[in-house]
Amino acid sequence: MNNQKFTYQPTKALAKISKVVKENDLAIIQGGQGAGKTIAILMLLVSLCYRHKKEVTICSSELSKLKGTAILDFLKILKDYNIYSLSNWNKSEMIYRFDNGSFVEFIGLDKTDVGKGRRRDYVFINETNKVNIQSFTDITARAKKVICDFNPDAYFYLHDLKTENNFISLTFKDNNFLPQKEVNNILEYYNRGYFPDGTIKNNYWANKWKVYGLGEIGSLDGVIFSNWQSIQSIPTDARLLGYGLDFGYSNDPTSIIEIYNYNGQRILNEICYQKELTNSQISKLIPTKLPVYCDSAEPKSIVELKRLGVNSRPVTKGSDSINFGIQIIQEQNYLVTENSRNLITELQRYTWKTDKKTGEKLNQPIEDYNHAIDAFRYHEMETLGMKRNRSLNIKL
């Protein structure tokens, strides 16, 4: 690289990121809007690949999420540094190869086994909070160094892995080349969220300022369930009531949730959240003869589990069964064990759909972050919900 004036200039964020990456095998980069964290990480990786022979994987929950952002920025950085070669870029395989033998590949983690078995010098997971913990574990298992970035719109599993040394939080103030117009847009979140005396004027904009202005953990707008809190473990005198089971295989995980009663309160405990499980493997995860309420869309699996000794039962569904189940759950208070990480992630990210034109919340949940939630929803619908409906003579 020569000494020309580059469009992509080193920022305060780049200096902080370089330090935490150098000193840690896992670097957790939390940041608000305009912090320039992704650009800085790409600049660092380009520099490392140019100067040394490195093998790098850059990934996100879906490849499409990288195509309009990180991939374009990566190629622009190469061109800005005057080291881009068209012949080195394999667009069909999404791999850029440097003349010194380094390469950078871009992948989406929504494909089965896509992240398993890769030995890499660096793995960079963009928007890690949108990647489930199983995919995170698969892609990072053999990496020498792992770099993760995300906006902290809710607590998730990476926050359990942070230490005093491997974690940094960045804001727009760490991007000293951010245009003033973008700075003003971010500051407007505060103006809309707070009165001059610092008291909250609007919760939505106050939360937006917290997440995107201050780079601190916030809460997603429109979260469906707030009636829960975490506990360290299941009390010894809690009584197991049964299980909820949501089937999955290659694209979605199979999720199994235990439901306990403890002094009149429900406790949820995740015992399975894994892809590519056979029914035989599932049956071995359920040691008791208590009822297991399952997705009725898979009658063959329910019958096979019953033959394997599982007390599997199909859940009763109807035209509005999802919203009915949500309502039943919202009427309760729940305790969730700390080891139920995937369930906790879903509870934090399961929101109502938003009308794209008006921005208004719809009376429909998103079709994501719902595998563990569906599992225990089945149990609650068939126990609490059906019991209530029978007393009121209501049919779904």
**What's the pLDDT tens digit per position in 91-126?**
999 999 999 999 999 999 987 666 666 789 999 999
Residue 4 within a domain: no
Residues 309 and 345 in one domain: yes
Q: Which residues of 366-386 are buried (b: 16+ CB within 10 A; e: fewer)?
A: eeebbbbbbbbbbbbbbbbbb
What is the C-alpha to C-alpha distance for residues 129 and 152, in angstroms, rounded to an integer? 8
Residue 219 within a domain: no
pLDDT at 153: 85
What is the C-alpha to C-alpha distance for residues 171 and 191, in angstroms, rounded to an integer? 17
Residues 189 and 311 in one domain: no
Residue 193 within a domain: yes
3-state secondary structure of 75: helix
Q: How far is CA 256 from CA 235, 284, 379, in A?
A: 20, 12, 11
Residue 325 within a domain: yes
Q: What is the pLDDT confidence band of residue 386, given thresholds at 50, 70 and 90?
A: low
DSSP state letters, 79-132: HHTT---GGGEETTTTEEE-TTS-EEEEEETTSTTTTTT--EEEEEETTGGGS-
- Exposed, middle or buried, 239 (CB in 10 Å: 0-12/13-18/19+)? exposed
- Exposed, middle or buried, 196 (CB in 10 Å: 0-12/13-18/19+)? exposed
Residues 260 and 375 in one domain: yes
Residue 40 within a domain: yes
Residues 257 and 338 in one domain: yes
Taking residues 186-192, what's their average pLDDT? Answer: 95
Q: How far is CA 376 from CA 111, 267, 370, in A?
A: 26, 11, 10
Radius of gyration (C-alpha) of the chain in whole angstroms: 24
Residues 259 and 360 in one domain: yes
**What's the pLDDT tens digit per position in 53-83?**
999 999 999 999 898 899 999 999 999 999 9
Residues 194 and 267 in one domain: no
> Side chain identity at 268, as an amino acid letter?
L
Q: How far is CA 253 from CA 342, 357, 369, in A?
A: 10, 32, 11
Degrees to nearest 5, angle at CA 307 with 386 and 281: 95
Residues 209 and 308 in one domain: no
What is the C-alpha to C-alpha distance for residues 350 and 148, in angstroms, rounded to an integer? 22
Residues 240 and 358 in one domain: yes
Residues 79 and 58 in one domain: yes
Residue 44 within a domain: yes
What is the C-alpha to C-alpha distance for residues 149 and 115, in angstroms, rounded to an integer? 18
Question: Residue 195 above 80 pLDDT?
Answer: yes
Residues 247 and 387 in one domain: yes
Residue 295 within a domain: yes
Q: What is the CATH number of the domain that holds 150?
A: 3.40.50.300
Q: What is the CATH number of the domain that holds 306?
A: 3.30.420.280
- Tokens in use for 276? 């590519």
pTM of the model: 0.67
Residues 163 and 52 in one domain: yes
Percentage of the chain beyond pLDDT 70 is 94
Considering its fold, how many domains does the chain have in total? 3
Residues 378 and 286 in one domain: yes
pLDDT at 393: 45
Give the domain extent around 109. Answer: 12-174
From 134, 169, 149, select the one nearest 345 (Cα to Cα): 134
Residue 206 within a domain: yes
**What's the pLDDT tens digit per position in 18-53?**
999 999 999 999 999 999 999 999 999 999 999 999
